[in-house]
Chains A and B, each alone.
Chain A
Amino acid sequence: MPRAIAALCLAACVFAVVAVAAFAAGAAPPLKAGSFEPPRAAPDFVLAGSDGGALQLSKLHGKVVLMSFGYTHCPAVCPTTLATLAEARRSLGKDAGAVQVVFVTVDPERDDVATMRQYVAAFDPSFLGATGKPEALAAVRRSYGVVARKVPLGGGYGVDHSSSIFLIDREGRLRAQMPYGRDARDFAHDVRLLLAS
């Protein structure tokens, strides 16, 4: 009888360990970014790419896309964001090739294709800038919930704009949105998770 009880206890312990291990293996680690549940298809668009061609988002399927909105005259937020994304990409090593950074302008008046090319290449030659007609860019912003507002700055103007970075997985689903100011390691962490999923 005591043997039977001991065997039962042992079986219960083994079952508990297996159950916990199975649960731990099944639960995906959380993203550092804010995540959408359930994710939706990232709204597609076609804009003028800084490489001289048309930049269609859906053509980037197969890569994890990190997309931010900003402008080349931005005094702080955009340079910080792009420098962080460049650092994150470098830290990914061989996985860097599976990541595409896209920078969409909110200031088409000043950001033409040549300006965008020069600007994004200063951070990473693989980065793509996107510009276009004001109404086309406004439609893209609306589809992502991005706000941008011209404000007087010095003798000219600046643009107040949303500063989050959108994370799009290889299937083209809008999975997450990283708030401004996060570390390059957070981006690398999330990109690795998206590449593995």
Chain B
Amino acid sequence: MRAKRTGALAALALVGVAAAAVAWAALAPITVASRDELFAIPQGTWARRMAGDKVEILPATIRLTLGVNDVLLLRNLDDVPQVFGPALIMPGQSFRLPFEAASTYSFACTAHASGQLQVVVDPMPEPGWPTLRWRLRRWLR
């Protein structure tokens, strides 16, 4: 009888903790250490391409969120210039592109077979379900 009660209490406590975690994830303001979303071309990418390796550097669509990770930071660590997203970036150079409006942006991009890069900038999620969904997507990424 006592063991049954203890088990029920433990289950209740577990549900309470889970509910508190969900409430936190849905309502706590989103804070980040840096708003940069970094993509880097590793050294040797050009050489690998020349050797016939189909290296994909950037995803076809990049998703950013205003106020959270709304600065696209492209860094060329390779030994040759690269057209990376919208910019020609020299070896050792970075390109920092901030976004201030939620929208879908299209850039010509030779790093993609399609020649196009899409950047989707989402608005800062509202507290509640949108924030919870945003966190879940982030954790699952």
Contact = CB atoms under 8 A, between A and B. Distances in A.
Contact of A36 (B83, B89, B100): B89
A147 B110 contact: yes
A84 interface: no
A33 B105 CA distance: 14
B86 A177 contact: yes
Interface in B49-93: 72, 81, 83, 86-90, 93
Interface in A31-58: 32-38, 40
A160 B108 CA distance: 9
Contacts of A144: 88
B37 to A, nearest CB: 13
A145 interface: yes
B115 A164 contact: no
A162 interface: yes
Contact of B95 (A35, A162, A181): A35
Question: Do most interface residues of chain B lie in helix, strand or loop, or is the interface mixed?
Answer: strand
Contact of A34 (B86, B108, B110, B115): B86
B88 A35 contact: no
A82 to B, nearest CB: 19
Interface residues of A, number: 21
Contacts of A97: none
A155 interface: no
B94 interface: yes
A125 interface: no
A134 interface: no
B93 A36 contact: yes
B83 A34 contact: no
A34 B93 contact: no
Interface string A130-165: 000000000000011101000000000000111110
B94 A36 contact: yes
B90 A40 contact: yes
Contacts of B89: 36
Contact of B105 (A30, A35, A179): A179
B103 to A, nearest CB: 8
A179 B94 contact: no
A191 to B, nearest CB: 17
A30 B81 CA distance: 24
Contacts of B100: 32
Contacts of A143: 88
A184 B93 CA distance: 27
Nearest to B88: A145
A34 B95 contact: yes
Interface in B76-129: 81, 83, 86-90, 93-98, 100, 105, 107-108, 110, 115
A145 B83 contact: yes
Contacts of A161: 108
Interface of A: 30, 32-38, 40, 143-145, 147, 160-164, 177, 179, 181
Given A36-B89, A145-B87, 9 more contacts: A30-B98, A32-B100, A37-B95, A38-B93, A145-B81, A145-B110, A160-B108, A162-B86, A177-B86
